[in-house]
Amino acid sequence: MTAAPPTTLRSMTGLGRGRASQNGVGFVAEVRTVNHRSLEVKVRLPHGLSGLEGRVTAVVRKHVQRGRVDVRLDLTEGGSTLLAPRVDTAAAQATVETLRALGNKLGLYGDLTMHDLVLLLDRIQVQDPPPDLESVGTVVDAALTAAMEDLDTMRRTEGAALHQDMLARVEMLDGLRARLLARAPAAVAESNARLRARVVELAAGVAVDPARLAAECALLADRTDTAEELTRLAGHLDHVRALLRG
């Protein structure tokens, strides 16, 4: 018996990628999922765009209900403009002049270099520009949605393969169950025959009470009877089939 593949069966593991660009700003999104008892979302964003984490998480929750989801977003274009630092030029010039004057006064030789200025970044008020999160978020949404759709395609493909594999295993187990059920009467008779032969062997010619031997055979037959277990197994397999049908 072959069940139609369910429309909602998905693998818990998958990988999806998506790209989007708008107004000179581009992002690539990568999403990875693995099994987890609840939904756990981990987001990695470019420096300066941490304010988009809540937005990214909300998009993920629309597509995934359970599992650990790792999301990474990288700028592919527009990063130099979007996240370029602003330098207080006046403060930098004043700092350089002050240090030069101090060097002359103390009789110190040498001049300042770019390396020296980098060490004084906090003095010249380097600041990250406040990006327009709404416009950037639109591009992020598009890239992430494309990645989630790609992820869903992969999860569905793997889910279909898992469906066929699990269904084949159910049918294999059911076949073994049917063979055991058909073999059960003979197995009981063989167990009784082995018991009688063993008793005769151990008795070594001593008379054996037939009633006692019959009672022991009945007890052995009850202990080796697997009808109840095989019936429960049939119910479990039917339940798995129903789940696989969705």
Q: Please tell me which residue, 28 or 133, carries the higher pLDDT value.
A: 28
Confidence at residue 22, expressed as pLDDT on a 0 to 100 scale: 87
∠ CA 233-237-240, nearest 5°, is 140
Confidence (pLDDT) at 5: 46
* Radius of gyration for the chain, computed over Cα atoms and rounded to the nearest angstrom: 37
Query: What is the spatial distance between Cα 111 and Cα 100, in angstroms, rounded to a whole number?
Result: 7
Q: Which neighbouring-strand residues pair with 41?
A: 69
Show Cβ contacts of residue 153 under 8 Å, excluding neighbours closer than 6 positions.
16
Q: Determine which of 62-71, 103-112, 114-123, 235-244 has the lowest per-residue pLDDT on average.
A: 114-123
Spatial distance between the Cα atoms of 33 and 17, rounded to a whole number of angstroms: 12
Mean per-residue pLDDT over the chain, rounded: 81
Distance CA 193, CA 200 (A): 11
Instruction: Indicate the pTM of the whole model.
Output: 0.63
**According to the model, what pLDDT value does residue 2 have?**
47
The span from the CA of 51 to the CA of 43, in Å, is 11
Distance between CA atoms of residues 41 and 33, nearest Å: 9
Nearest-angstrom CA–CA distance, 1 and 237: 12
The whole-number average pLDDT for the span 219-235 is 78
* pLDDT tens digits along 149-202: 999 999 999 988 999 999 999 999 999 989 888 877 777 777 777 766 776 666
Distance CA 18, CA 143 (A): 5
Pairing of strands 67-77, 25-34: antiparallel
Identity of residue 11: S
Quickly state the pLDDT bin for 213 (edges 50, 70, 90): low
Percentage of the residues of the chain whose pLDDT score is greater than 70: 74
Q: pLDDT > 90: what percent of the chain?
A: 38
The predicted structure's pLDDT at residue 4 = 45
Decide if pLDDT at 138 tops 80: yes
Q: How far apart (Å, rounded) are the C-alpha atoms in residues 64 and 36?
A: 12
For residue 183, give both structure tokens.
């073999």
Q: Is residue 85 very low, low, confident or very high in pLDDT (cuts 50, 70, 90)?
A: low
